[in-house]
Amino acid sequence: MARLKIAVVISGRGSNLQALIDACADPAFPAEIVSVISNVPGAAGLARAEAAGLPRHVIDSRDFKDRDAFDAALDESLRQSGAKLVCLGGFMRLLSEGFVAKWRDRVINIHPSLIPAFTGLNTHERVLKAGARFTGCTVHFVRPEMDKGPIIIQAAVPVRPDDTTESLAERVLGAEHRIYPEAVRLIALNRVRVRGDVVLVDGASAPEGILVNPSL
């Protein structure tokens, strides 16, 4: 079976990129990274891609007059790479409605909360201020609105009484590194279907601590 070709789009350190690099290093993993794209020159994630011997590209968002122009350049780079799935890994821009329509259900993102709770920025600080007992992370298909779209997979992380934003962020990040490769694996195996705003997973039997919607 041919491996699914994926591109990873980043803006920063690329820790979730590294989780995907590590997963794809296993020949049995059903996906491979064909391109790493950063909108920020010098982003630390580019060094991770270089160390792994992956094709890497910089599309500096400051060079474009508006979001549509940047998204057109991103679209062209993705198509040239042959990618069939786009994984956003700490990509700090909203994609335009036109771009999302072209790549509908082929762009996924990871967010450090249990969506729909605590979307947006400063997530862990807001979780602690709200006194939430649980938080977590979510991989979802991308829609034009920030942190919206059908949920593919989630992991719950308990909030401890002595947590700081830093300690909570570290544990949630560990969960992110578990579920992002799992989401890609399920998609690559053609086990993920979108029905309306809900994702159903055929033969769902996720590892302990990972939450998916089983196919009915």
Residue where one domain finishes, among candidates 44, 77, 103: 103
The answer for residues whose C-beta is within 8 angstroms of residue 164's C-beta and 6 or more apart is 128
Q: Compute the mean pLDDT over every residue in the chain, rounded to the nearest whole number.
A: 95
Residues 98 and 113 in one domain: no
Residues 29 and 126 in one domain: no
Tell me the CA end-to-end span of the chain in Å, nearest whole number. Answer: 26
Residue-wise pLDDT for 106-132, tens only, equals: 999 999 999 999 999 999 999 999 999
Residues 58 and 140 in one domain: no
**The tokens 């992110």 sit on which residue?**
176
Residues 81 and 128 in one domain: no
**Residue 203 has what pLDDT?**
76
CB 55 within 8 A of CB 74: no
Residue in 57, 111, 124, 177 annotated catalytic: 111
Residue where one domain finishes, among candidates 49, 72, 103: 103
How far is the CA of 43 from the CAs of 9, 37, 119, 133, in angstroms? 11, 10, 24, 34
- What's the pLDDT band for 204 if we cut at 50, 70, 90? low
**pLDDT of residue 4 exceeding 60:** yes
Residues 113 and 214 in one domain: yes
Q: Once rounded to an integer, what is the mean pLDDT over residues 200-216?
A: 73
| CATH number of residue 79's parent domain | 3.40.50.170
**Residue 164 has what pLDDT?**
98
Residues 81 and 129 in one domain: no
d(CA 116, CA 144): 15
Residues 99 and 143 in one domain: no
**pLDDT of residue 216 exceeding 60:** no
Residue where one domain finishes, among candidates 79, 103, 127: 103
- Annotation says 111 is catalytic: yes
Residues 163 and 190 in one domain: yes
Residues 76 and 147 in one domain: no
d(CA 193, CA 127): 31
Residues 72 and 130 in one domain: no
Q: Which domain holds residue 195?
A: 109-216
- What's the pLDDT band for 1 if we cut at 50, 70, 90? confident
Residue-wise pLDDT for 65-118, tens only, equals: 999 999 999 999 999 999 999 999 999 999 999 999 999 999 999 999 999 999
Tell me how many domains the chain contains: 2
Q: pTM for the whole thing? A: 0.94
Residue-wise pLDDT for 16-37, tens only, equals: 999 999 999 999 999 999 999 9
How far is the CA of 13 from the CAs of 25, 44, 133, 157, 176, in angstroms? 19, 4, 28, 22, 14
